[in-house]
Amino acid sequence: MKKIILLFILLPFFANAQEDLLGELEKEKTKETDYTFATFKGTRLVNGHTIETKNAGSLEFIFQHRFGALDGGLYEMFGLDEAYVRLGLDYGITDNLSVSIGRNSADKIMDGYLKYKILKQSSGEKNMPFSITALGGAAYSISPKKDDEPEGFKSVDRLAYTGQLLIARKITSNLSLQLMPTFIHKNAVNKFAEKNDQIAIGFGGRLKVTKSVALTTEYYYRLDPPDNDLLASVGDEKRYNALGFGIDIETGGHVFQLVLTNTSSLTERTVITETNGDFFGGDIHLGFNVTRTFQLKKNK
């Protein structure tokens, strides 16, 4: 009889050990930091950058393309007769630092950027609500030709600089939002109508529709834009805030971004401060960003 009682007393110990092995494993684990990944599909949102950089050792070839305005009518084949291209390379030096160079046919601009991930959104041991990436870039316009330079034009006048903070949060696995305070300095402007230093705030986001398809949008609001009448008086075109919508389609190593935007150029200086299209007036350009990633250095 007593043996049976003993058995009953002992039984829970065994039963308990049996049930909770997995629970025990969880307990043993020290709390770890879980870093958010894939806030955006690519390094570009629509025209501008996302917080994403390339991982160490991977090289991305980016082919960006903007047609003419859709309101060109049949004569212009709804913009398809005209096209601007940017060819670029982005390379991850480390997982947090990447460098990129490119050539844009609009204004014949050579550009280069450095992007550095300052903060990464994370939860767990270390809790960080946002990811922040800093971007610094320079753009050099090859146009006008040396022989066509106006009087007093120096080669430093061809340069413009961009400083940007890209602040993003992946709110759910499908929705990410981004804020982009941007500073642009242009070495040469028509001082009568425009300032050398210009500031804009960008807003953007992406919504995943399926595992491989996402909708994106991006808007750059200029805080102190030059007056359009003043610009007109010196023979410049009207300027607008840059707005764009896109569809990201991802297939293996490629990302295809199909975009509709009011700008036809592809560098920060021209997109943010020199967009000529009135989106709601029909100056909408169809465009593509196509990327292909190559892993140059394997991770192990």
Partner 1 sequence: MKKLLILSLIFACLSAHAQKYVSEKSFVSFFSDALLEDITADNKKASSIINTATNDIAFSIPIKEFQFAKSLMQEHFNEKYMESDKYPKSTFQGKLNGFDMKSTSVQNVKATGKLTIHGVTKDVEIPGTIEVKDSKIYVKSKFIVKVADYKVEIPTVVFQNIAEQVEVTVDFVYKPQ
Contact set for partner 1, span 248-277 (CB under 8 A): 249-253
The 137-176 site mask, x for binding partner 1 (CB under 8 A), equals ------------------------------------x---
Q: Which of 4, 14, 191, 235 binds partner 1 (CB under 8 A)?
A: 14
Q: Which stretch in 20-28, 125-133, 157-165, 235-243 sits in contact with partner 1 by CB under 8 A? A: 20-28
CB of 209 to partner 1, least distance (A): 12
Q: Tokens 């014949």 appear where? A: 108
Q: Which of 150, 210, 224, 229 binds partner 1 (CB under 8 A)?
A: 210
**212 scored as a contact of partner 1 (CB under 8 A):** yes
CA distance 39 to 114: 19
Q: Which of 4, 26, 145, 147 binds partner 1 (CB under 8 A)?
A: 26
Nearer to partner 1, 20 or 81 (CB): 20
Instruction: Name every residue whose Cβ is closer than 8 Å to that of residue 126 and which is 6 or more positions away in sequence.
Output: 33
Tokens of 119: 């903060």
CA distance 104 to 295: 25
CB of 237 to partner 1, least distance (A): 39
CA distance 185 to 257: 28
Q: Which of 31, 146, 191, 211 binds partner 1 (CB under 8 A)?
A: 211
CA distance 250 to 92: 20
Q: Which of 4, 8, 31, 37 binds partner 1 (CB under 8 A)?
A: 37
CB of 162 to partner 1, least distance (A): 26
CA distance 248 to 232: 37
**31 scored as a contact of partner 1 (CB under 8 A):** no
Cβ atoms of 147 and 138 within 8 Å: the answer is no
Q: How many CB atoms neighbour CB 126 within 10 A? A: 12
The 90-129 site mask, x for binding partner 1 (CB under 8 A), equals --x-------------------------------------
CB of 252 to partner 1, least distance (A): 5
CA distance 131 to 114: 17
Which is nearest to 72 in space by CA: 63, 82, 64? 82
Which letter does DSSP use for residue 87 in this model? E
**6 scored as a contact of partner 1 (CB under 8 A):** yes
* Helix, strand, coil share (%) of the chain residues, nearest 5: 20, 45, 35
Number of residues in contact with partner 1 under rule CB under 8 A: 39
Nearer to partner 1, 169 or 222 (CB): 169
Tokens of 218: 């991006």
CB of 204 to partner 1, least distance (A): 20
- Encode 45-111 in three state secondary structure: CCCCECCCCCCCCEEEEEEEEEEEEHHHCHHHHHHCCCEEEEEEEEEECCCCEEEEEEEECHHHEEE
Binding site for partner 1 (CB under 8 A): 2, 5-6, 9-10, 13-14, 17-18, 21-22, 24-26, 28-29, 34, 37-38, 55-58, 92, 173, 210-213, 249-253, 293, 295, 298-300
